Chain A
Amino acid sequence: MTGVLRLAWLTLRARKAGFVGAFTALALAFVLITACGVLLESALRSGAPTERYAAADVVIAGQQRITPAERVLRRLRALPGAEKVTAEVSFPAVVITDGREIVGGPEGGPSLGHAWDSAALAPYTLEAGRPPATDDEVVLDSSLADRAGARPGSRLKLATTGPPSVYMVVGVARSPLVPTRQAALFFSPRQAVRLAGGKQPVDAIGVRARSGVSAAELAEQARQAIETLYSADASDASNASDQAGELYASDVLTGDQRGEFEFADSPDPGEALGSFAGTFGAISLFVALFVVAATLALSVQQRMGEIGTLRAIAATPRQIRRMIASETLLVSLAACAVGCPAGIALAALLRAVLADRGLIPEYFPLHVGPTTLLTVVALVVTAAQLAVAVSARRASRVHPTQVLREASTPPPRTGLIRSLAGIVVLVIAAVALAPVARGRGSQDTGAADSLVMVLMLGVALLGPLAARVGSTVLGAPIARLFPVAGFLASAGTRAQYRRLAAAVTPLVLAISFSGTLLAVPELKTRAAETQNSQRLRADHVVRSSGIGLPADYAAEASRIPGVQAVTGLMPVSTTLTSRHEGDTQTHGGQGYAVDEETLPTLLDLDIRAGSLARLRRDTVALGERRAESLGVRVGDTVGVDWEDGTRSDARVVALYARDKGFADLVLPRELAERHSTDPLDDTVLLRTSPTADDNAVQKALQALTAQYPMADPIPRAAYDEARHARQESSNSLSLLLLGMIAAFTAIAVANTLTMSTMERTQEFAMLRLIGATRRHVTRIMLWEAGITVTLAVALGSLVCAAVLVPIALALTGSAVPAVSAGHVLAVLGGTTAFGLVTVLFTTRLALRTHPAQAIGTGR
């Protein structure tokens, strides 16, 4: 051990109590950041291995179907490295049991029908029975067969792209991976093509490499082949119209990319976890480092006397800095030993909670890798060193003789540079928030909620100044009204405004984060619900589960007596392109195909330009925001890339405002059907005539589920309720986040308040020796805590308002955020109570030391 490190070690051993605060803050930082790191790594490593393409070294697939498939297949077969080229077609297909239950993909995974010849891509191998030969024969994967209770010879009702019909199970095939994440149903090639729709449907092409050819080499060959095909096509097309551009750069996929494509439409557990861990990580990294920096600064400041003594016995400033750095390093490592394992445990707990809420599957594994742990340790240790370096520098430069006075009162001026930096940071936050506020009613809240962090930084920098002003404003009347305890508390906070600032900052942090984490989802939920109920004019809503509703369902529903208007909402996934003056804009377009006749009766989309009456044939209505990003207006033409791999032009006939949480575009069903690969409605909306008996209609709809078990009809009110419940449960994740941040900030608050109260044991002793009772001291401390908390509540409310008002403006157009009074009370009252109780408790603790002991024996 070097001299300085040894000194640091001895100091630590001798003054364990003095380092408890720093240790606690650092250990908590390790807990939070380790937990995030582990979750993030697990999310990143969740790369889904392919199931269906395990036997294909290279897969060619894209967002749209591959067209013209014949030419692409020909090119691929001609590749020198290709051993076997297999085309695959996919379409939704599920089993309907006798009990009218839908059996599809496991854990929300896909359930797809294919042609038997593409079973070789996995390969699915027959476990029993034989391949499907006729149009009404099917082979199920073994897991689906188990769940559906089917064996070769069973007759099963299947729902696919058309009305449900009965098939004969002729075989059961084993999938290459068990357990599977999807269900596969294999039809005869002819029937598969029929169900998939289109002339020569190909959704993906798998290529097996010749022996000696690597997947990468084969992929390269395939890429070139497709590129030449594309450019040849493009030069052909140069004289023709847009319509000729039929071939789209399909991706050439290898390795885990194959699985990504395979499960692109099913919820990606890694992504859900990744986004949670990302948000959680960003906030907790900020909060943790913030708290660590504040705590370390406080602990150095408390040791000014000791540092002065060391300086007096001729320690150089450099030695002081190194000693403090070494101490911090030792405390960090000790905190790491406790915090990292606890962080891993927290990650495991969070994983369990997330799995419990269905956000990730039960089986989702946790990865605890050395890289993550080392990164976390390096990050926290470095951050602690940086944080303490500033205070250490200040401390080491103190002149030995100055120390005793330095310790008793801070230098009279607040740092000018610090205040200026704080103002600059706040201005930056204001500049970022202004456009959100200006976009009244735009529904666009941007990154407003994440600006809490920037605002907090500004508040922390301006903390001493705010504490000075605040203690004067609050202290003066208190001192006048309460000449004993109030006066002393006021004098104490005014003189020790830095200590006040150190206590206020974590409280502001607690209020700001819990306030916004609680209120922002609340505001967003309310706005979304308002927009939803304004948009929806239906009296009954039929949602699909397991598989979409075939078009016939809407037709049958419209025949129910009393039903006035019906439309299905058929999801359409497109890519939209606008072109003007050589400037091309391309954006994804998630839309709904509707019955254009009845649409206005069932949905009030808030038309801002054009008219839905003109929604006919090759036209679309665009949501305002998509129209804006594409730069198109009513009357303009947009290029639409369809799911089936074709492209056509459509004229924009209307722009609507209520697009949030709904659709980028709305188009006539007839147009969409021509290009859809699975023309199924995910929702059907009904409106009854004013005289109709809604119970009878609901009964009739229920009766229809015998034929269409995927239909789930509910009356409007129940639908709204269910939607609300769904919103709530999606908010529960942010509540989880809130809980953890609140717990952490609470500990930080308790930590600083305890540190700054215990520091005053001698002051209390002196007061008591000259005749202050315990009650006097307790009251003084409560008044001080009152000033601290009031200031924190004021600043915290300002931070919350700075974020919530722009969000409220953007969402509702009103500047008053509709936050429930209970939440406001919980955050402000909770913080206040917590602050006061902590101070009360620690004051009691500090008063337990006998005053004569605390002061008399001196040092």
Chain B
Amino acid sequence: MSAQDPGPMRGHGPGTSAASPEATVRLDAVSKTYGKGAAAVQALRDVSMSFAKGSFTAVMGPSGSGKSTFLHCAAGLDRPTSGHVRLAGADIGGLDENALTVLRRERIGFVFQAFNLLPSLTVEQNITLPLRLSRRRTDREWLARILKRTGLETRVTHRPSELSGGQQQRVAIARALVTRPEVVFADEPTGALDSTTGREILLLLQESVRSLQQTLIMVTHDPVAASYADLVLFLADGQLAGSLPSPTPDTVAERMAQLGNR
């Protein structure tokens, strides 16, 4: 569990707080409490972990275990109550709202379960939206490669309403890749898809991470989806509850069942 280990299949240390030059995302003793007083809910308790460049990690846990909270804190969408988050080399605790937004725009990609696209824009316009927001030119060659890889070459002028759910998710992935971000966060990206389409999407994600050396952090509750990752981290009651390298759907499901029984 050496943090220095750069291999894509290794290098994640649940509970590791040691500094790692290769880690693109690192959480240090992060806690998050919602509400105050008697109504306070501790969604994350003293969570530390780091994610190495080029790794694909799935975060799993029962409903209410703090997965979304973890994702929000790790991606800089929400600020932890205590602890530190380092994202693409910056301690985001010191960044203001605008700087965070710029960071998101340039270094981070997002794929969500739904509401990913602007219905009024075409596929191409949706994909290049982050570039437009930062007033950057589109690298046509790069765009063509992304389109080819996501199988959307023939759909560039379509609008989201003319696409299937799987195709819409492909557009979201393409958009998450267009800025060549260092980290891609995905929150239940296959949650709204049938299993075949979900598989395609997961393979696409897996492949892009590999070829671009990106860090992919995916929150899911689906053991099959998690099995595409290099490593699965389990959350329970806002705490890290173990990890599973080289997961298969069966081993993941087994661990989940154990967590559920505790």
Contacts and interface: CB of A to CB of B under 8 A. Distances in A.
Interface of A: 405, 408-409, 483-484, 487-488, 491-492, 494-496, 762-763, 765-774, 776, 850-852, 855-859
Given A409-B119, A763-B118, A771 B101 contact: yes
A852 B119 CA distance: 19
B213 to A, nearest CB: 21
Contact of B101 (A408, A496, A768): A768
Contacts of B116: 766
A768 B102 CA distance: 10
Contact of B68 (A494, A772, A856): A856
Contacts of A773: 97-98, 101-102
Given A771-B130, A776-B133, A857-B68, A762 B115 contact: yes
Interface string B96-113: 011001101110001011
Contacts of A855: 112, 115
A759 B74 CA distance: 28
Given A855-B112, A858-B115, A770 B120 contact: no
Interface string B120-132: 1100010001101
Contacts of B106: 771
17 contacts: A409-B159, A484-B133, A488-B121, A491-B118, A491-B121, A491-B125, A495-B120, A495-B121, A766-B117, A767-B118, A770-B133, A772-B133, A850-B77, A855-B115, A856-B71, A856-B187, A858-B191
Given A408-B160, A856-B187, A857-B68, A487 B118 contact: no
A205 B118 CA distance: 83
Contact of A771 (B72, B114, B134): B134
B161 A483 contact: no
Given A409-B159, A762-B115, A856 B72 contact: yes
B98 A769 contact: no
A200 to B, nearest CB: 87
Contacts of A483: 132, 135
A416 to B, nearest CB: 21
Given A491-B121, A766-B117, A771-B106, 13 more contacts: A408-B119, A409-B119, A483-B135, A495-B120, A495-B159, A769-B112, A770-B129, A770-B133, A771-B104, A772-B101, A772-B105, A855-B112, A858-B112
Contacts of B113: 858
Interface of A, helix, strand, loop or mixed by DSSP: helix
Given A409-B159, A409-B161, A771-B130, A856 B118 contact: no
B200 interface: no
B221 interface: no
Given A495-B120, A763-B115, A770 B130 contact: yes
Contacts of B125: 491
Contact of A769 (B110, B118, B160): B110
Interface in B26-82: 68, 71-72, 77-78
B175 interface: yes
B102 A771 contact: yes
Nearest to B103: A771
Q: Report the 4 A-B pairs with minimum CB-CB distance, sorted nearest first.
A: A771-B105, A495-B120, A408-B119, A409-B161
Given A495-B159, A858-B112, A769 B77 contact: yes
Contacts of A768: 101
A770 B132 contact: no
Contact-residue size bin, chain B (C-beta under 8 Å from the other chain): 35 or more
Contacts of A405: 161
Interface of B: 68, 71-72, 77-78, 97-98, 101-102, 104-106, 110, 112-121, 125, 129-130, 132-135, 159-161, 175, 187-188, 191
Nearest to B77: A852
B180 to A, nearest CB: 14
Contacts of A851: 77
Contacts of B117: 766
Contacts of B191: 858
Contacts of B71: 856
A425 B177 CA distance: 52
A857 B125 CA distance: 26
B218 to A, nearest CB: 14
Contacts of B130: 770-771
A188 to B, nearest CB: 91
A776 B130 CA distance: 12
Contact of B78 (A409, A852, A858): A852
B34 to A, nearest CB: 11
Contacts of A857: 68
Contacts of B187: 856
A852 B106 CA distance: 18
B95 to A, nearest CB: 13
B120 A491 contact: yes
A773 B68 CA distance: 22
A487 B132 contact: yes
B223 to A, nearest CB: 20
A771 to B, nearest CB: 3
Given A484-B135, A770-B130, A856 B104 contact: no
**Residue in B71, B101, B116 whose Cβ sees the most chain A Cβ within 10 Å:** B101
A767 B106 CA distance: 14
A263 B101 CA distance: 77
**Residue in B77, B102, B187 whose Cβ sees the most chain A Cβ within 10 Å:** B77
Nearest to A773: B101
A762 B77 CA distance: 15
A488 B101 contact: no
Nearest to B131: A771
B118 A771 contact: no
Contacts of B68: 852, 856-857
Contacts of A772: 101, 105, 133
**Residue in B110, B133, B175 whose Cβ sees the most chain A Cβ within 10 Å:** B133
A788 to B, nearest CB: 15
A691 to B, nearest CB: 80
Nearest to A769: B110
Contacts of B134: 771
A483 B135 CA distance: 8
Nearest to B110: A769
B190 to A, nearest CB: 13
A767 B110 CA distance: 11
A60 to B, nearest CB: 77
A768 B161 CA distance: 21
B43 to A, nearest CB: 12
Contacts of A491: 118, 120-121, 125
Nearest to A493: B120
Contact of A852 (B72, B118, B135, B160): B72
B235 to A, nearest CB: 16
B119 A850 contact: no
A494 B188 CA distance: 31
Given A487-B132, A488-B118, A856 B175 contact: no
B97 A774 contact: yes
A856 B104 CA distance: 15
Contact of A850 (B78, B135, B160): B78
A493 to B, nearest CB: 8
Contacts of A850: 77-78
B28 to A, nearest CB: 21
A769 B161 contact: no
**Residue in A762, A858, A859 whose Cβ sees the most chain B Cβ within 10 Å:** A858
A182 to B, nearest CB: 71
A474 to B, nearest CB: 15
Nearest to A761: B115
A771 B188 CA distance: 20
A408 B106 CA distance: 28
B119 A495 contact: yes
Contacts of B120: 409, 488, 491-492, 494-496
Contacts of A766: 112, 115-118
Nearest to B109: A770
**Residue in A483, A494, A771, A774 whose Cβ sees the most chain B Cβ within 10 Å:** A771
Nearest to A405: B161
B112 to A, nearest CB: 6
